[in-house]
Copies of this chain bind each other. A is one copy, B any other.
Amino acid sequence: MKLEKLVGERFKERPSDCVVDSHALMVRGGYMKYVANGIFSSYMPLKRITRKIEAILREEMDAIDGQEVSFPVVMPASLWEESGRYGSIGKELVRFSDRNGSPVVLGMTHEEAAVQLVREYGNSYNKYPFMIYQIQTKFRDEARPKSGLIRVREFTMKDAYSFHTSQADLEEYYDRCHKAYERIFARAGIPEVVSVASDSGMMGGSISHEFMLLTDIGEDSIVICPECNYRANMEAAENITEYTRTRDSEPLTKVSTPGVKTIEELCSFLSVSESDTCKAVVYQRNSDDSYVVLFIRGDLEVNETKLTNYLGYDIHPGVIDCECGLCAGYIGPVGLSAKCTVLYDSSLRGMNNLVCGANESEYHCTGLDMERDLANIEYHDFAKIKEGGICPVCGKHSVTISRGIEVGNIFQLGTKYTKSMNMTYTDAEGNTNYPIMGCYGIGVGRLAAAICEVHHDDYGPIWPISIAPWQVHLCAVRSDDAEVKAYANRLYEELTAHGIEVIYDDRNISAGVMFSDADLLGVPYRAVVSPRNMKAGIVEISSRDKSLKSSAALDTAADEIAAVIAEALKK
């Protein structure tokens, strides 16, 4: 098509509200437009990209025996009450009433709908295994949408649900889907995506993986051990600490620490290192504001995902009021009399000679010995692993931490939904069982943005040909030159006749504007017709990623470009 007719504006200035490059470039290039916080419309170039991504998703889902179906966006609340999630999910689940006052929700994920669709069908073991998937709009009322298409409220997602009669069968299918995901990301131009063990969160189930594209702008922290290839989301990574009691325990001694409230002030005041302190971190339960006090080694941070999973309820950072009995800044494990849930991180296990709060304003204690001074306490892993920390698999001090964008996830759900929603089948022996489920998601828009994030330069995206909005960007420089115009028209016709997707810029504008528009559209190959090239009897051919810079004779240009495209599509 002709660029002149392409709806959408392209411009040079980076919009001030764009933090990440993919967002800035997709706004500057006329791919998307802001409608509301975390809600966008797409122009044709983005729509073409997402449709190509969707085609790849369909092919790979079909290749692992997936059946495309569709579930509603608006669902009755009763369906989510069956699974128990109507009550357990927070405000990100949109709830409202229809005109008849019936409570409904907007689908943010479709486990309930999937079970509802196949609950009667899947009544006998011989129907299994099967997988159904859809590519559909979802809405998740995110508290903090950001980074353009990376974290939005409304999005298109490929979500798949598999049903099995044994854990072994689920695991086999899970593995097939893992491989399909690898193919999907490779085909979409980001073979470098890695899968990491993840926390299952609100989905339930036990084993799950996220597919991460490593990039500094990623929202997730990824723990990687280069020694043994262990990979996990920070949220799910076990933290291991070592401690050797190097000297005898001093007696527990109250010391005056006037005005000292933070760990930094304390360490400086007493000349101890943070790892020799026992820090109290206070939370409150969302539902009733009751207190949770977590003791953890002073140099470590709390992994709130692990904490929430352990507690089984949502929490927020605690605000200590006068009546609660907690002495802000001076909370310690010995003599803590406030009514609260008290937890201990594994990092404190066996430690001695620690500094901790004395539960009295302006006082701390030294010489805390966890074993001597505290009776019958349990330790759990609540800490964030740190760079250089101990790999939970190989045990070496080899942990590195990277940032990543989650571009896909797969979950072994078990029977969480089939049990709660009473979906059963009869096995070969006539017994009634609950099917075992897996679920598998990829966000289409986020994937497009993630690809842009790792495939761009200062001038625009560099789209992989598999998902590029067009394959060839044809520039007629000085289209007011009759010879240029006539040949460019002919080349456009010839390329189109070859089945090549061409965006044709025959506007009578400067080469500079023409090329910067082309950079913003990020089409992988560019053909330039110009008076100088005409004189030389050639068409310039180059690739957006600069790996190709070549020329072709006028008469054979279309064939040569077609050969380049065919070769590129093969990869």
Task: State the A residues within 8 Å of B (CB).
Answer: 5-9, 33, 35-36, 39-44, 47-48, 51, 65, 67-76, 79, 91-92, 94, 96, 98-99, 102, 104, 106, 113, 116-118, 120-121, 127, 130, 132, 134, 136-137, 139, 141, 143, 153-154
In the complex, residue of chain B having the shortest beta-carbon distance to the beta carbon of A97 = B96
Instruction: Looking at the assembled complex, report how far the CB atom of A447 sits from the nearest CB atom of chain B, in whole angstroms.
Output: 15
Asked if A141 contacts B92 (CB within 8 A), the reply is no
A47: chain B residues within 8 A (beta carbon): 68-70, 134
Given A7-B121, A8-B121, A67-B6, check contact A35 B72 (CB 8 Å): yes
A132: chain B residues within 8 A (beta carbon): 7, 44
Asked if B7 contacts A69 (CB within 8 A), the reply is yes
Q: How many angstroms between the C-alpha atoms of A8 and B116 in the bound complex? A: 12
Asked if B94 contacts A96 (CB within 8 A), the reply is yes
In the complex, residue of chain B having the shortest beta-carbon distance to the beta carbon of A118 = B7
Asked if A120 contacts B9 (CB within 8 A), the reply is yes
Instruction: Looking at the assembled complex, report how far the CB atom of A545 sits from the nearest CB atom of chain B, in whole angstroms.
Output: 26
Asked if B139 contacts A137 (CB within 8 A), the reply is no
Asked if A154 contacts B74 (CB within 8 A), the reply is yes
A39: chain B residues within 8 A (beta carbon): 72, 74-76
A73: chain B residues within 8 A (beta carbon): 73, 137, 139, 154
Given A41-B113, A113-B41, check contact A98 B94 (CB 8 Å): yes
Q: How many angstroms between the C-alpha atoms of A98 and B37 in the bound complex? A: 11
Q: Of residues A47, A71, A98, A137, which shows the largest number of chain B Cβ atoms within 10 Å of its Cβ?
A: A98
A48: chain B residues within 8 A (beta carbon): 68
Given A68-B48, A76-B35, check contact A41 B7 (CB 8 Å): no
Asked if B74 contacts A116 (CB within 8 A), the reply is no
Q: How many angstroms between the C-alpha atoms of A92 and B120 in the bound complex? A: 32
User: 7 nearest interchain CB pairs?
Assistant: A96-B96, A91-B99, A44-B67, A36-B76, A42-B70, A99-B141, A39-B72
Asked if B72 contacts A154 (CB within 8 A), the reply is yes
A136: chain B residues within 8 A (beta carbon): 137
Instruction: Looking at the assembled complex, report how far the CB atom of A552 sits from the nearest CB atom of chain B, in whole angstroms.
Output: 29
A67: chain B residues within 8 A (beta carbon): 5-7, 43-44
Instruction: Looking at the assembled complex, report how far the CB atom of A27 sits from the nearest CB atom of chain B, in whole angstroms.
Output: 12
Q: How many angstroms between the C-alpha atoms of A92 and B43 in the bound complex? A: 28
Asked if A41 contacts B154 (CB within 8 A), the reply is no
Q: How many angstroms between the C-alpha atoms of A318 and B240 in the bound complex? A: 77
A41: chain B residues within 8 A (beta carbon): 69-72, 113, 116-117
In the complex, residue of chain B having the shortest beta-carbon distance to the beta carbon of A65 = B5
Q: How many angstroms between the C-alpha atoms of A296 and B157 in the bound complex? A: 55
Asked if B44 contacts A68 (CB within 8 A), the reply is yes
Q: Of residues A7, A120, A136, A143, which shows the largest number of chain B Cβ atoms within 10 Å of its Cβ?
A: A7
Asked if A44 contacts B69 (CB within 8 A), the reply is yes
Asked if A74 contacts B143 (CB within 8 A), the reply is no
A to B CB contacts below 8 Å, 15 in the list? A7-B67, A7-B69, A7-B132, A9-B121, A33-B116, A35-B72, A35-B76, A36-B76, A43-B67, A47-B69, A74-B154, A99-B141, A99-B143, A136-B137, A137-B137
Contact of A116 among B9, B35, B70 (CB under 8 A): B35
Q: How many angstroms between the C-alpha atoms of A7 and B66 in the bound complex? A: 10
Instruction: Looking at the assembled complex, report how far the CB atom of A77 sits from the nearest CB atom of chain B, in whole angstroms.
Output: 10
Q: How many angstroms between the C-alpha atoms of A281 and B121 in the bound complex? A: 53
Asked if A36 contacts B116 (CB within 8 A), the reply is no
Q: Of residues A70, A102, A117, which shows the largest number of chain B Cβ atoms within 10 Å of its Cβ?
A: A70
A154: chain B residues within 8 A (beta carbon): 72-74
Contact of A7 among B91, B102, B130 (CB under 8 A): B130
Instruction: Looking at the assembled complex, report how far the CB atom of A508 sits from the nearest CB atom of chain B, in whole angstroms.
Output: 12
In the complex, residue of chain B having the shortest beta-carbon distance to the beta carbon of A106 = B74
Q: How many angstroms between the C-alpha atoms of A70 and B102 in the bound complex? A: 29
Asked if A43 contacts B117 (CB within 8 A), the reply is yes
In the complex, residue of chain B having the shortest beta-carbon distance to the beta carbon of A42 = B70
- Given contacts A35-B116, A43-B117, A47-B69, 13 further A-B pairs with CB under 8 A are A5-B65, A7-B118, A7-B127, A8-B121, A33-B117, A39-B72, A41-B70, A43-B67, A72-B154, A73-B139, A98-B141, A136-B137, A137-B137
In the complex, residue of chain B having the shortest beta-carbon distance to the beta carbon of A47 = B68
Instruction: Looking at the assembled complex, report how far the CB atom of A46 sits from the nearest CB atom of chain B, in whole angstroms.
Output: 8
A116: chain B residues within 8 A (beta carbon): 33, 35, 41
